[in-house]
Amino acid sequence: MDFADSPDDARFRRELRAWLAANKAARDERVPHDDASLADEFALLRAWQRQLFDAGYVGLLWPREYGGRGAPPVQQAILNEELARVRAPQLLNRVGINNAGPTLIAHGTEAQKQRLLPPILSGDEMWCQLFSEPGAGSDLAAVRTRAEREGDHFRVTGQKVWTSYAQLSKWAILLARTNPSVPKHKGITYFIVDMTSPGITIRPLTQITGSTEFSEVFLEDVLVPATNVIGSVDQGWEIAMTTLAHERGTGFAFKEQVLARIAVDDLGALARSHGRATDPVLRQEIARGYVDVEIMRLMNCRTLTRLERGQDPGPESSLVKLFWASLTQRLHDLALEIQGPDAVRADGRWPMAFLWSRVGAIAGGTSEVQANIIAQRMLGLPRG
């Protein structure tokens, strides 16, 4: 690919930078404080998403008929780069925008698209993802939540876990087993579930950071209309692969690449502030981080090239996700090493960021799962 912006892309970048500069004060007001409650954080981030949506910067890749701009993938990458560069707040409805929306566009009926897609971009209707279970996280195909057909509904019973913003969501994408008599990758169906349905119980989970963003969700005889099936019954695994490819795709990766570059630059400043700028071992580790960020950028460009050609992200997205998870943990380990005893303080950027970096090897598919995908689907190795 051409690494320089095309004239159209350069114009898009200039316009975006000008908008971000003009809205700096309003943008900074949307950044949640460390001690903000989940409700306060939700309100701030929802307002920020609405502000971006009104400016036309949410859902760039989506077709125009569903509220998007039909933009080329490179402009979505530019958007994520520029938002990360100014350290803007993240979008609130990420599951809807990155996961559910593209899946509906690819596999949903026209009626499903018309009803469900427009409120995703504006943030009027939040989405969550009911995939992982206590016994089916790393092995997603082992889901045991059951969905039994009863006339024009399915009766769903089971338990999900690590569901972001479950208590604040209107809709969920759900994987449930509809045929236990076939191999586990078969017999799974992909549903849309109304989170206000009777029989749903949500229990927030307190994380090591103190946040309650994640929840466990219990479903007891929840009735889901058959019209809420995405694709065909028993064919949900293939559709889930679309969701996961987008979750780990370039939109996520370009943002994290820029944030990693910012972290490397900040590590240099941190080393200088602690009188360790001449430490040869430390300098080598910071240089390694810089090189790794460049490697990640090139991997992202490869994925972007696939998207520009109309191809799916493919298993290469697992390679990027695995690389990023390792990189972000190494960078934050290094930050705490530089700080020494100061790292035990509860305040400050680095201690909290260190805790969040642990999530990288779990969220969006564990590093072990990503390694298996790379081994089997990219290298052609047999299952272990």
Q: Which residues are catalytic?
A: 247
> What gap in Å lies between CA 136 and CA 98, rounded to an integer?
22
> What gap in Å lies between CA 102 and CA 114, rounded to an integer?
13
DSSP assignment string, 313-382: --THHHHHHHHHHHHHHHHHHHHHHHHGGGGG-SSSHHHHHHHHHGGGGTTTS-HHHHHHHIIIIIS-PP
The 8-class DSSP code of residue 152 comes to T
- The type of residue at 151 is G
Q: Pairing state of beta strands 229-230 and 146-150?
A: unpaired
To which residue do tokens 């009626």 refer?
A: 111
Q: Among candidates 47, 46, 45, 49, which has minimal Cα distance to 58? A: 49
- Strand ranges, E, within the chain: 127-130, 146-150, 153-164, 171-177, 188-194, 200-204, 214-225, 229-230
The length of the chain in residues reads: 384
Specify whether the CB–CB gap between 206 and 214 falls below 8 A. no
> What gap in Å lies between CA 230 and CA 362, rounded to an integer?
26
> What gap in Å lies between CA 190 and CA 226, rounded to an integer?
11
